């Protein structure tokens, strides 16, 4: 390898570190195998509350898709709301689904990207099932 090739390699490696150093930025597919299929109709209430498989899938899906803004273990670093404090009831379910599906886009600014079409309904409720297991402090 000559000097220029070495330099090129070094630059490649450091950009990769930059892109992946803080968790993935592109949405990550979630394997929801093992969960009851929910069909196409959007549900109003979390069908997986207390479901162990869902909670495990949800924890992984959260880390891959949400933690970079909402914090590891949903302990917010201040960039985005602390999701441990969402109400653990059907109102909380409704608000959660509205947000995760539509994201938060105002005046052309994307505060949170929409996840509808990226994650399936099963993955969305699995994340919710995980979030409500977290201690509030």
Which residues make up the interface to ligand HEC (CB under 6 A)? 65-66, 68-70, 80-81, 83, 86, 96, 99-100, 104, 111-112, 115, 127
**Six-digit token pair at 81?**
């709301």
Please, what is the minimum distance in Å from the beta carbon of residue 80 to ligand HEC? 4
The CB-of-11 to ligand HEC minimum distance in angstroms stands at 27
Q: Which is nearer to ligand HEC, 65 or 120 (CB)?
A: 65
Q: Which is nearer to ligand HEC, 10 or 110 (CB)?
A: 110
Residue closer to ligand HEC (CB basis): 20 or 111:
111
SS3 (DSSP) at 57: helix
**Cβ contact 123:27 at 8 Å:** no
Shortest separation between residue 9's beta carbon and ligand HEC, angstroms: 31
Cβ distance to ligand HEC smaller for residue 57 or 83: 83
Q: What's the closest the beta carbon of residue 46 comes to ligand HEC, in angstroms?
A: 12
Instruction: Name every residue whose Cβ is closer than 8 Å to that of residue 103 and which is 6 or more positions away in sequence.
Output: 110, 111, 112, 113, 114, 115
CA 59 to chain centre: 9
In whole angstroms, how close is the CB of 24 to ligand HEC at the nearest point?
10
For ligand HEC, the closer CB: 49 or 68: 68
């Amino acid at each position: 390898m000559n000097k220029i090739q070495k330099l090129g390699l070094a630059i490649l490696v450091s950009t990769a570190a930059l892109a992946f150093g803080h968790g993935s930025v592109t949405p990550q597919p979630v394997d929801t195998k093992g969960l009851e299929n929910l069909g196409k109709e959007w549900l109003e209430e979390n069908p997986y509350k207390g479901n162990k498989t869902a909670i495990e899938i949800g924890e992984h899906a959260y880390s891959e898709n949400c933690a970079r803004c909402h914090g590891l273990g949903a302990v917010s670093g201040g960039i985005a709301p602390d999701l441990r404090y969402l109400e653990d009831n059907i109102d909380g379910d409704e608000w959660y689904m509205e947000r995760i599906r539509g994201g938060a886009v105002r005046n052309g600014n994307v505060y949170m990207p929409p996840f509808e079409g990226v994650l399936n309904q099963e993955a969305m409720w699995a994340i919710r099932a995980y979030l409500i297991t977290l201690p509030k402090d």
